[in-house]
Structure 1
């Protein structure tokens, strides 16, 4: 495949245990303090990168997720192995103000009431068969063509 045929792809760094919960679990909302632009209303694929930080891999946080949100959350040791890797793709189909999402949605977190938050809604995911080591970044960021090619070789077309 020539470089001109490789589509653009952006990524989103999400800390563990939440990145794994998106790609392998039932997390279909990602909350952010900024909006996601979804061109043409058709949805946008983003690579989900598990951030390198392990600060949220606290046994209490993971136990709460297992009890209230996703009982099959892997062990903290397994989640640590995912840090710093692209786990797969998620298709985001809408970006709504947090107050538009019912409070009983288990993945909706409640933060500072004085700050506008947005819920990015996910319709489908494509896990990679082997996560790809990659350095992440803040906000939504562009992947280089080599990484995009590796992802396409694994999951196939995504546009």
Structure 2
């Protein structure tokens, strides 16, 4: 059955505001931020909420991703042409969930991915797929089960995405995606050796703009770090 549930997830779905929903499904956004840990692993369907994003929010988030991708030398980002609302957009593979301070400790990850960790918990997303034709539907808070009828229609309309810089998160145990839990990375890596991202006014401005957008739309659900570079300084 679709709609609300008590955690018995068979076809898990998450509703996000735009432009975050489309950025995730298009493979630009690789880390989904939450104030609560992910209770599922595997395929997670992404639905866009009904709130129409304003031009300033779209610009701020696109600027944010331009800047963090530029840190890794990627400058040819292609953003979605449209940000539809009240529609099922596609899905991602949710492979793990860690805290933001653990994300920045993770050796081997691109620096731009680490900069996506702007919230308490970071949901690690891979293999984005989008629907050729988004499906209109209503959403719910937190994770809920996608209605079976919608699911059966959606799986027939999925197509792979050519992400600008896809990431395969190096899970501690590839045979057990549940093995990546908050606390693992911090206890197994020397965070004092993290390479700091070069100072950049444009990067700071983009991070601050993204933080403002999160604060306005998700003030309670997305507690942003007050200092955009705090997560790099806290291990000095």
Q: Is the 8 A contact 1:25 1:73 kept in 2?
A: no
5+ residue gaps, structure 2? 1-8, 67-76, 105-110, 160-236
CA distance in 1, matches of 2:27, 2:61: 11
Which of 36, 39, 52 does residue 38 from structure 2 map onto? 36
Q: Deviations over 1:60-96 (max 9, x none)?
A: 2222222230453346xx22xx100000011100000
TM-score with structure 1 setting the length: 0.75
Aligned residue number for residue 13 of structure 2: 11
Aligned residue number for residue 145 of structure 2: 142
Is 1:87 the equivalent of 2:89?
A: yes
Provide the secondary structure at the position in 1 that maps to 2:46. Answer: strand
Q: Is the 8 A contact 2:25 2:89 kept in 1?
A: yes
CA distance in 2, matches of 1:67, 1:118: 23
Name the structure, 1 or 2, with higher relative contact order (CA <8 Å, separation 6+). 1
Closer, same or farther in 2 for the Cα pair 1:86/1:46, shift >3 Å? same
Which of 58, 61, 65 does residue 65 from structure 1 map onto? 61
User: RMSD of the alignment, in Å?
Assistant: 2.2
Aligned residue number for residue 109 of structure 1: 118
5+ residue gaps, structure 1? 1-6, 111-116
Aligned residue number for residue 4 of structure 1: none
Q: Deviations over 1:108-151 (max 9, x none)?
A: 325xxxxxx21000011111110000100000001111011011
TM-score with structure 2 setting the length: 0.52
Is 1:131 the equivalent of 2:134?
A: yes
Provide the secondary structure at the position in 2 that maps to 1:146. Answer: helix
CA distance in 1, matches of 2:95, 2:151: 21
CA distance in 2, matches of 1:107, 1:47: 20
Q: Which has the larger radius of gyration?
A: 2
Aligned residue number for residue 48 of structure 1: 46
